[in-house]
Chain A
Amino acid sequence: MTQEGRIAEICEIHAGREGPLLPILHDVQAELGCVDAAAEMQIANALNISRAEVRGVVSFYHDFSAEPDPRPVVQICRAEACKARGVEALMPSASAAAGERVRIDTVYCLGLCSVGPNARIGDDLHARLNGERLTRLIENA
Chain B
Amino acid sequence: MAYERQPDMGTPASHSDTSVTLTIDGRKITVPEGTSVMRAAAESGGDIPKLCATDNVSAYGSCRLCLVEIEGRRGTPASCTTPVADGMVVKTQTPRLAKLRRGVMELYISDHPLDCLTCSANNDCELQDQAAAVGLRDVRYGYEGENHMGNKPDVSNPYFLFAPDKCIVCSRCVRACDEVQGTFALTVDGRGFGSQISAGQTSDDFLSSDCVSCGACVQACPTSALMEKSVKDMGKPERSVVTTCAYCGVGCTFRAEMKGEQLVRMVPWKDGKANRGHSCVKGRFAWGYANHKDRITTPMIRDAIDQPWREVSWDEALSFTAARLNAIKAEHGAQALGGITSSRCTNEETFLVQKLVRGGFGSNNVDTCARVCHSPTGYGLKTTFGTSAGTQDFDSVMQSDVMLVIGSNPTDGHPVFASRMKQRLRPDLNKDGGAKLIVIDPRRIDLVKSPHIEAAHHLPLQPGTNVAVLTAMAHVIVTERLADEEFIHARCDWDEYQDWARFVSDERHSPEVLEAVTRVPAADLRAAARLYATGGNGAIYYGLGVTEHSQGSSTVMAIANLAMVTGNIGRPGVGVNPMRGQNNVQGACDMGSFPHELAGYRHISDDAARALFEQDWGVTLDAEPGLRINNMLDAAVDGSFRAIYIQGEDILQSDPNTKHVAAGLEAMDCVIVHDLFLNETANYAHVFLPGSTFLEKNGTFTNAERRIQPVRKVMEPANGLEDWEVTQELAKAMGLDWNYAHPAEILAEIARLTPSFAGVSWEMLEEKGSVQWPVTAERPEGSPVMHIDGFVRGKGKFVVTEYVPTDEKTGPRFPLLLTTGRILSQYNVGAQTRRTANTAWHPEDMLEMHPTDAENRGLKDGDWTRLASRTGETTLRVTVTDRVAPGVVYTTFHHPETQANVVTTDYSDWATNCPEYKVTAVQVMPSNGPTDWQEDYAQLSERSRRIDTEREPAE
Which positions in A face B, CB cutoff 8 Å? Answer: 37, 40-41, 44, 48-53, 55-56, 59-60, 66
Contacts and interface: CB of A to CB of B under 8 A. Distances in A.
A55 B197 CA distance: 11
A51 B201 contact: yes
21 contacts: A37-B202, A40-B201, A41-B201, A49-B451, A49-B452, A51-B210, A52-B184, A52-B187, A52-B198, A52-B199, A52-B201, A52-B204, A52-B210, A53-B187, A55-B189, A55-B200, A55-B201, A56-B187, A56-B198, A59-B187, A60-B190
A59 B190 CA distance: 5
B202 A55 contact: yes
A44, A52, A59: most-surrounded residue (chain B CB, <10 A): A52
Contacts of A55: 187, 189, 198, 200-202
Contacts of A44: 451
Closest 10 CB pairs of A and B: A56-B187, A50-B184, A52-B187, A50-B451, A52-B200, A59-B189, A60-B191, A55-B201, A59-B190, A49-B451
Nearest to A40: B201
Contacts of B449: 48
A44 B184 CA distance: 11
Interface residues of B, number: 24
A111 to B, nearest CB: 20
Contacts of B185: 50, 52
Given A48-B454, A53-B451, A56-B189, A66 B184 contact: no
B452 to A, nearest CB: 7
Contacts of A59: 187, 189-191, 198
Contact of B201 (A37, A49, A60): A37
B183 interface: yes
B186 interface: yes
B209 interface: yes
Contact of A48 (B198, B203, B451): B451
Interface in B427-484: 449-454
Contacts of B133: none
Nearest to B191: A60
Interface of A is mostly: helix
B188 interface: yes
A138 B540 CA distance: 66
A98 B370 CA distance: 75
A48 B190 contact: no
Contacts of B450: 48
Contacts of B199: 52
Contacts of B203: 37
A48 B427 CA distance: 13
Contacts of B204: 52
Contacts of A48: 449-454
B441 to A, nearest CB: 19
B190 A52 contact: no
Given A37-B203, A40-B201, A41-B201, A50 B191 contact: no
A106 to B, nearest CB: 13
A41 B208 CA distance: 14
B200 A51 contact: yes
Contacts of B198: 52, 55-56, 59
A50 B201 contact: no
Contacts of A52: 184-187, 198-201, 204, 209-210
Interface in B187-234: 187-191, 198-204, 209-210
A50 B183 CA distance: 8
A60 B209 CA distance: 19
Nearest to B192: A60
A37 B200 CA distance: 10
Contacts of B453: 48
B446 to A, nearest CB: 12
Contact of B202 (A50, A60, A66): A66
A21 to B, nearest CB: 13
Contacts of B191: 59-60
Nearest to B185: A52
A46 to B, nearest CB: 12
Nearest to B450: A48
Contacts of B209: 52
B482 to A, nearest CB: 30
Given A40-B201, A41-B201, A55-B198, A50 B189 contact: no
Contacts of B183: 50
B198, B202, B210, B450: most-surrounded residue (chain A CB, <10 A): B202
Given A37-B202, A55-B198, A55-B202, A49 B184 contact: yes
A41 B453 CA distance: 17
A78 to B, nearest CB: 15
A134 B452 CA distance: 47
A53 B201 contact: no
A40 B209 CA distance: 14
A47 B214 CA distance: 24
B55 to A, nearest CB: 24
Interface in B151-202: 183-191, 198-202
A49 B187 CA distance: 12
Contacts of B202: 37, 55, 66
A65 to B, nearest CB: 12
Contacts of A50: 183-185, 200, 210, 451
Nearest to B171: A56
A99 to B, nearest CB: 26
A27 B183 CA distance: 27
A50 B177 CA distance: 11
Contacts of B184: 49-50, 52-53
A40 B188 CA distance: 15
Contacts of B454: 48
A67 to B, nearest CB: 11
A56 B200 CA distance: 8
B668 to A, nearest CB: 53
A117 to B, nearest CB: 23
A51 B454 CA distance: 16
Contacts of A53: 184, 187, 451
A41 B188 CA distance: 17
A49 B454 CA distance: 11
B836 to A, nearest CB: 26
A18 B209 CA distance: 27
Contacts of A40: 201
A47 B450 CA distance: 10
A40, A48, A59: most-surrounded residue (chain B CB, <10 A): A59
Contacts of A56: 187-189, 198
Contacts of B452: 48-49
B181 to A, nearest CB: 11
A66 B199 CA distance: 17
A60 B189 CA distance: 7
Contacts of B187: 52-53, 55-56, 59
B198 to A, nearest CB: 7
A51 B203 CA distance: 12
Interface string B327-353: 000000000000000000000000000
A49 B201 CA distance: 13
A89 B755 CA distance: 89
A77 to B, nearest CB: 18
A66 B201 CA distance: 11
Interface in B794-835: none
Nearest to A55: B201
Given A49-B184, A53-B451, A55-B198, 6 more contacts: A37-B203, A52-B187, A55-B200, A56-B187, A59-B198, A60-B191
A53 B201 CA distance: 9
B191, B200, B202: most-surrounded residue (chain A CB, <10 A): B200
A51 B449 CA distance: 14
B184, B198, B203, B210: most-surrounded residue (chain A CB, <10 A): B184
B183, B449, B451: most-surrounded residue (chain A CB, <10 A): B451
Interface in B293-317: none
Nearest to B449: A48
Nearest to B203: A37
A48 B191 CA distance: 24
